[in-house]
Amino acid sequence: MRTLISATWIVGHENGRHRLIRDGVVVYEGNTIVHVGKSFEGQVDKTIDAKGKLVAPGFIDTHVHTGHRATHRLITDTGRPMYYGQPFLEISVPKEGAVVKGDPRYLKHGDAGSEAAFALNATFTVAELLRAGVTTFVEFGSQLRVQDSLLAEVKRLGTRAYLAPGYDCGRWVGDDKGRLKRVRNNQLGLDGLTTALDWIEKNDGALGGRVRGILVPREVETSSVELLRRTREAADANKLPMATHAAYSVLEFHDVVAEHMMTPIELLDDLGMLRPTMNIGHGNFIADNPNLNYSKARDLELMGQAGVSISHCPINIIRRARVLDNWKCYQEAGINISIGSDTYPRDMIMNMRIASYMGKVMGHTYFAATAGEVFEAATLGGAISVGRDDLGRLAPGALADIVIIDLSGGNTLRYGPVRDPVRGVVECGIGDDVETVIVDGNICMENRVIPGVDFRALRDQAQIAGEAIWATLPEWDPLERTAEEACPYCYPDIG
């Protein structure tokens, strides 16, 4: 079947760059785009009218941690300074002998209530991403059962994903004073790699190619050198992309330097892991970052020479008083910048806006991190990070992953007069402005409705799950704090 979308604005693609087409058409047949231009003379079976709208490539979110992120709601405007703003140390480190309650990413298969929690986790994630125009997402290393439930939802809702269980050589617990304590188990990491490769062998290319595998040793400092080396060997042998958290935390940077006498980036370089299909999340605490006071910094140069990718998650880092320093330097070094949500809200448009504004401030120039550049990062940058030249662009031969964005802002005045639609979206848009989402040639969301997804029911279920998680904090928090002690309401006397 051949479908034609006629639109007031189209982000097309030619000679490796996006280009704007006014009053044009996009034509796709099956799952492939066959024509992008001012008009089309051939026969079509169906026409979609996108007058007053922007037709663009679907967004690629390169840093997704699944779930409704209830625990993340406990760390806005608060937290323990000892973690230098690193979120997961605040909300994912239980006291010794306890487990983080209620977050399905930490449940084991068979735990009471786990099936419902896994299902909610997966549905909420995939639906939230789809709602905001994400057509491909990269899951950043959740455990096996989470990947299985995501796979089921990706199948049901029709999106595209890079999945596979992540692995590490042990994580942290909090001791009786609340101090971080590393738990190491090198065999656990190697077993995890085997599990990941088994999962990938079974599922890579599933759902007509919509699901692909990715190797995710979760963090560079929780992985042994042997685990990282074997990951690189497996990536080479099976032509798989990789992702890991590296140069993302002040503590991690110091830990890696102390243990390996190399920076996290130098370690990855030493192991031959730096390449475009290595997605470094977040890569902002590199040796070149002046806040780290590291002499003879060469991380930026190493990353740029390799054309490595970073998943830049602007909302996540800026909410914790951290920043990418800076967009322009990374770009000029040759680093491929992609954009990820990481936390809530999973809104690629808001993330693009913050990336642009942060990039201007940190680069000390309003010529930096332009709307066009952040839009490229959210589309082409993501495609490069997983080694794809058939995603992130609207061009003949590319896959038909398309979003239609309503430039009326849902009948509001938010956009005002639109001269440049990409600037309009980056400056004035929100994810909810995405009206229709097409993945692999199939309409997965039409006029803001995703068949089989009840937003109200999902919100209610997530609220109940969130309340339960917040109530159990004293059971596993190393300091046994209540949610109110950890994160007081912004104004007192709520009772």
| CB count in 10 Å sphere of residue 414 | 15
Place of tokens 């760390």: 75
CA pair distance 138, 157, nearest whole angstrom: 16
Q: Which two tokens stand for residue 440?
A: 């692999």
Report which residue type is found at 138.
Answer: V
- The residue (of 138 and 369) whose beta carbon lies closer to Zn ion is 138
Q: How far is CA 300 from the centre of its chain?
A: 22
- The residue (of 140 and 470) whose beta carbon lies closer to Zn ion is 140
Q: Judged by CB under 5 A, which stretch of 119-127, 274-282, 386-394, 467-475 contacts Zn ion?
A: 274-282
- The residue (of 86 and 461) whose beta carbon lies closer to Zn ion is 86
- The residue (of 311 and 379) whose beta carbon lies closer to Zn ion is 311
- The residue (of 142 and 159) whose beta carbon lies closer to Zn ion is 142
Do 264 and 297 contact (CB within 8 A), yes or no?
Answer: no
Q: Which two tokens stand for residue 150?
A: 């995501």
CA pair distance 319, 76, nearest whole angstrom: 7
CB of 435 to Zn ion, least distance (A): 29
Convert residues 234-273 into a mask of x (bound to Zn ion by CB under 5 A) and - (unbound). Answer: ----------------------------------------
CB of 222 to Zn ion, least distance (A): 12
Q: For the packed helices 144-157 and 114-131, what is the interaxial angle rounded to 10 degrees?
A: 50
- The residue (of 342 and 401) whose beta carbon lies closer to Zn ion is 342
Do 313 and 340 contact (CB within 8 A), yes or no?
Answer: yes
Q: Judged by CB under 5 A, which stretch of 96-104, 137-145, 150-158, 414-422 contacts Zn ion?
A: 137-145
CB of 67 to Zn ion, least distance (A): 12
Q: How far is CA 284 from the centre of its chain?
A: 15
- The residue (of 140 and 199) whose beta carbon lies closer to Zn ion is 140
| CB count in 10 Å sphere of residue 162 | 26
Q: Judged by CB under 5 A, which stretch of 199-207, 253-261, 280-288, 428-436 contacts Zn ion?
A: 280-288
Q: Which two tokens stand for residue 378?
A: 């959210």
Q: Judged by CB under 5 A, which stretch of 4-12, 276-284, 362-370, 400-408 contacts Zn ion?
A: 276-284
Indicate the SS3 state at residue 84: coil
Indicate the SS3 state at residue 260: helix
Q: Which of residues 140-169 bind Zn ion (CB under 5 A)?
A: 140
Q: Judged by CB under 5 A, which stretch of 90-98, 255-263, 278-286, 468-476 contacts Zn ion?
A: 278-286
Q: Which of residues 339-378 bind Zn ion (CB under 5 A)?
A: none
Binding site for Zn ion (CB under 5 A): 140, 281
